[in-house]
Amino acid sequence: MDDKLSTGRPGPTGGTRLDPWFGAYAQRAHGMRASEIRALFAVANRPEVVSLAGGMPYLDGLPLDSIADTIQRLVATRGTTVLQYGSGQGDETLREHIVDVVAMEGIDAHPDDVVVTTGSQQALDLVARIFVDPGDVVVAEAPSYVGALGVFRSYQAEVEHVPLDADGLVPEALEATLERLAREGRRVKLLYTVPNFHNPAGVTLSAERRPKILEIARRYGVLVVEDNPYGLLGFSGDPLPALRASDEEGVLYLGSFSKTFAPGYRVGWVIAPHAVREKLVLASESSILCPSNASQLAISAYMESADWRGQIKSFRELYRERRDAMTTALTEHMPDSSWNTPDGGFYVWVKLPPGLDARAMLPRAVTSRVAYVPGTAFFADGTGADHLRLSYCFPTPERIREGVRRLGSVIGDERDL
Ligand code: PMP
């Protein structure tokens, strides 16, 4: 019996017992892999496990009753528009509100510059789709957001990591990498960066480094993708000016309502130079026709009727308290590890004591009813096992303390092995 095609269904050559269509996939589909930790996360979602793994925002603080009223009123007054197809670029009123949001980070944009997307995840996909050919290089921080690495892999990009430190991406290291890639004759298309409250590293690109990074990217002809879902969630001071605030031609700015309002609406945006914006709209129309009118109109209605700035302020306070709970618990229970103290956002990036492997340790941590994301998820080459990412956004301070206590005892046991 042909072992490859034994499911009883005829399939293209190269199929397997489990997937008769294996041989038919496009090359890029072979780069799409479920993370090896996905199965463990099913377990991690059990109530007895303290999950410090996911990046889910805490939504109980939202004014749910008034949001429900707003949606009801919207359907009653503009029902057919809410339920109808809309513009491929996005609803104009929402784009006007987005211009107000990004003004808080010094961006002077026009509603025409904005393309509304289905979360910033779709924006990442569109950007890669219009810029990345197989084998092109995308330069990204080491570590980088796992969801962006997945997008780049699916377009068969080669990711080159550049280190970051407590002040974010290191300009000298960026320059050295771009210089080396130029010498090697490799085509660098994008610099992908999360400048504020980095996922997973928690750090922020300093004000001094921002113009340097832009100048280097400009000199090497590399388009900067500024992915900024956490920029308004800082715990002290005003937000730093976005990279896009001082470079309109060389930066694609990605924003999102997921962390400052609600990810369930799936609304994000890109601010792009004129010609790029046109391509993004075409690419988006070919994948989704248009973003959801229901979501876009609901967000506009919320912004018009609720104190959204006050809501962001209360999210900041909530997350600061959780950040404090986590760093205090780390000091108490994980004295031999090191970590940064993030000044905003959702994540603490922990370096384990020498010799420990975050990926190998994860099943034992889940057995001890605590979950995290091993550092290996955030490197294209699978390195990073000496780190792990902890999120403090969703669990209460009490659960955070208990989770870190459990993790400290797992690490203690691991060292005794
Ligand atoms: N970029 C970064 C850095 C993120 O952390 C996330 C969500 N975790 C996203 C993009 C995607 O967010 P969304 O699609 O919900 O806007």
> What is residue 61's predicted lDDT score, i.e. its pLDDT?
86
223 versus 30: the higher-pLDDT residue is 223
What pLDDT score does 12 carry?
58
Cα separation, 225 vs 121, in Å, equals 13
What are the tens digits of pLDDT across the range 6-24? 444 555 567 777 889 999 9
The pLDDT tens digits of the residues spanning 253-310 come to: 999 999 999 999 999 999 999 999 999 999 999 999 999 999 999 999 999 999 999 9
Mean pLDDT of 351-372: 95
Lowest average pLDDT, out of 43-52, 128-137, 181-190, 283-292, goes to 43-52
Q: How far apart are CA 359 and CA 90, in angstroms?
A: 41
Ligand 1 pocket mutation pick from 203, 256, 292 by most atoms within 8 angstroms of CB: 256
User: Considering the chain, what percentage of its residues have pLDDT values greater than 70?
Assistant: 96
Nearest 5°: the CA angle 77, 120, 258 is 60
Q: Is 258 a pocket residue for ligand 1 (Cβ < 6 Å)? A: yes
Q: Given this model, what pLDDT does residue 5 score?
A: 43
Residue 1 in this model has a pLDDT that exceeds 70 = no
**Is residue 175 lining ligand 1, measured as CB closer than 6 Å?**
no
Give the DSSP H/E element, type plus range, for residue 179: helix 171-183
Pocket test for ligand 1, best of 56, 101, 120 (most atoms within 8 A of CB): 120
Locate the ligand 1 atom nearest the alpha carbon of residue 121 and give its number: 14
Looking at 186-243, list the stretches that DSSP marks H as alpha helix, in order from N- to C-terminal side: 209-219
Give me ligand 1 centre to Cα 122, in Å. 9
Reported as a single tens digit per residue, the pLDDT across 311-325 is: 999 999 999 999 999
